[in-house]
Amino acid sequence: MRLHRNLVFAVIDGLNLIFNENKYADKVVEQLLKRDKRWGSRDRGFVAETTYDIVRWKRLYAEIAEVKEPFTRENLWRIFAVWAVLKGIKLPDWKQLEGTPSRKIKGRFDELSKIRKFKESIPDWLDAVGEKELGKAVWSKELHALNEQADVIIRVNTLKTTKATLQDLLMEEEIETLTIKGYPDALQLKERGNIFKTEAFKNGLFEVQDASSQLVADFLDVQPGMRVADTCAGAGGKSLHLAAKMDNKGQIIALDIYGNKLKELKRRARRNNVHNIETREIDSTKVIKKLHNAMDRVLIDAPCSGLGVLRRNPDAKWKLQPEFIENIKNTQQQILTDYSKMVKSGGKLVYATCSILPSENQDQVNTFLKSEGGKDFKLIKDKKVLASESGFDGFYMALLEKK
């Protein structure tokens, strides 16, 4: 591979924004890719993948480069040089890369690869939490899997097309997809590509949604004609899947504390030809009280640490703080207590997170079931999805029924 100056400069600028200005990696990459209209798909791929790669391995690369945060521009070039050497890329004779000690870099890499927190590039405190909750063997495997690049998985919009038809249409646009056993609505892209430019996407034939996330709608056991609440709906990936499962019949009330996310859900619903979703912003306790004992199904896709989705959000491990995880557990318990009141007698509730920590998952469900608010509920089943076993995002879901 030959390095091009304008592409490498874009990566350095991006890393500066992510590491020094605390910007979100996905937003930074999105901006970088708009920098030069002449860039082809290979150029764009280099900028996006190199930026994410260096974010993912920040601790390891910084340790090898012997630099500490906040990183100067010179530090960022040293980190980039480590990345390039370890990838076996021939360094050009640019002044920023002069004197790169290639042999020392490789030796240091071999040395540090014996220590998990460097090998898997993770903060000390997070490494300790993971080992304490999952045990050394499971955590080591999971951490390794969460450092793999995530595949692109899409969900077929069955309101508009079938899996086979969509595969044919995408093939016409030179995008090859594979079916995934056990995931009825999912297709996996054989190679990464900009699928948002396809006619199939513009026509609402699919949404991008990880395979693990697609399990939730089935788990909630919805039927056409039901009243369903998606209580932390966000931009509505799961609401749209529920609508398809319900054949657009019945009512889905999509709730969230962020009105702007619900606007995005409305836009997506129009493209998907979904018309049984009503959005409501939670701007007071009255919004929830009005729905007490009224819903056949309630989905609580709770806010969480997001440790199960580090493959696609590698910067989260650097942004997360120990106090955030402690605080979010209180929020999760509060949400379970408050939102479970919407379930009517005989109705069902799913509590889900994209975390792999038992303290955010099974422990929360058990605490709720022992509480005053949970005394009328019983656990029907739960499912723990580990990235190291499934190859997809880490996830948890529990199905509860109200007596």
Q: What is the CA angle 124-105-22, rounded to 5? A: 45
Q: Which residue in the list 354, 356, 386, 399 is annotated as catalytic?
A: 354
Nearest to 269 by CA among 392, 375, 359, 159: 159
Where do the H-state alpha helices sit in 66-101?
73-86
CA distance 206 to 392: 18
Which residue type occupies 48? A
Report the first-to-last Cα separation within the chain, whole angstroms.
63
State the CB neighbour count (10 A cutoff) for residue 188: 17
Nearest to 211 by CA among 186, 181, 231: 186
Give the three-class secondary structure for 4.
Answer: coil
Task: Give bridge partners of residue 206 from the DSSP assignment.
Answer: 156
Nearest to 354 by CA among 399, 318, 401, 386: 386
Q: Is 354 a catalytic residue?
A: yes
Rg over alpha carbons for the chain, rounded to the nearest Å, is 23
Beta strands in 267-394 (DSSP E): 277-281, 295-301, 343-353, 377-385
Q: What is the DSSP string of 235-259?
A: T-HHHHHHHHHTTT-SEEEEEES-H
Catalytic residue numbers read: 354
